[in-house]
Structure 1
């Protein structure tokens, strides 16, 4: 499966996979064409920006301008917190949209983490749905909704009822409880 996932991502493909609260759509964050495919599938405006998930801090630090002290991060990660950081210079604008922050989460969901490890990098992670609609909660629903537009990874979503909390790491301001 690892080889198939890597090949799909390298070719600019989009994945649908289980996360903490729903199925997510993901791709290689450095592949603009793949990111644009996700935005098109969702009907999501480009200016909103996207979340990246990783299986390790090492997968996320290339996107952060100033790497924070690990002991501060341990309060939130791994877990259901999406943290906002000032982006590194290499972070593409198509990931941040009109914002001056990059949204990152060190996932605690075993299947999402395994997928990031298989990919060898962080992945874009956004709910598998059209913008404004309810997210997909099962493998079968994902196949029915997206068909051949994405590679659907079977698995179970986590027990969380709500999406991750989003907060600015520097200021502590909460954007989504």
Structure 2
């Protein structure tokens, strides 16, 4: 997808809302998302993927194997996994872990497959505000700063659960 390849930010339909995303290898695009959201880099971000190989460069191999065996994926569960040594700090923030999700939501599956990579996935909103559920809302808030990919959001009424796979602790319901 040309927008992702040219370090631009997109908005796309996820399981519960529109998400802001970019190529996770693009520091420039990730910093643009953080600026748009008014979110501190230290918090880290989520990656969403359609296939395990799209996450392989970002998380430790043993952690990815454990995640695949856990039975949580594909689905709307984000897991905190040990970050690989190759994982850029602009994705994980101040953490040694990275939040990742393997989705079954077809619009995102197609987007990841077309791009050949996982994507950054954070709710399309300013930090602390409600997640946006319609393309026109995203366009109203962010204007031309993002390229909106139209499609249907999933049936989930809340963002994905975030779970630490090692401790079992649920960080977001």
Is TM (by shorter chain) over 0.5?
Answer: yes
TM range (shorter): over 0.9
Distance 2:114 2:140 in 1: 25
The number of aligned residues is: 171
Q: Does 1:72 align with 2:69?
A: yes
SS at match of 1:62: coil
| Counterpart selection for 2:116 from 107, 116, 120 | 120
Matched-pair contact (CA < 8 Å) for 2:67–2:165:
no
Aligned structure 1 segments of 4 or more residues deviating by more than 2 angstroms: none
Q: Which residue of 1 aligns with 2:140?
A: 144
Two-structure CA RMSD over aligned residues (Å)? 1.2
For residues 133-154 of structure 1, the C-alpha deviation after alignment (integer angstroms, 9 at most, x for no partner) is 1111111111222111011000
Q: Does 1:57 align with 2:52?
A: yes
Give matches, 1:1-177, under 5 Å.
6-67=1-62, 68-69=65-66, 72-73=69-70, 75-177=71-173
User: TM-score, with normalisation over the residues of structure 1?
Assistant: 0.93
Which segments of 5 or more consecutive residues in structure 2 lack a partner in the other structure? none
Distance 1:170 1:61 in 2: 18
Question: 1:66, CA displacement in angstroms?
Answer: 2.7
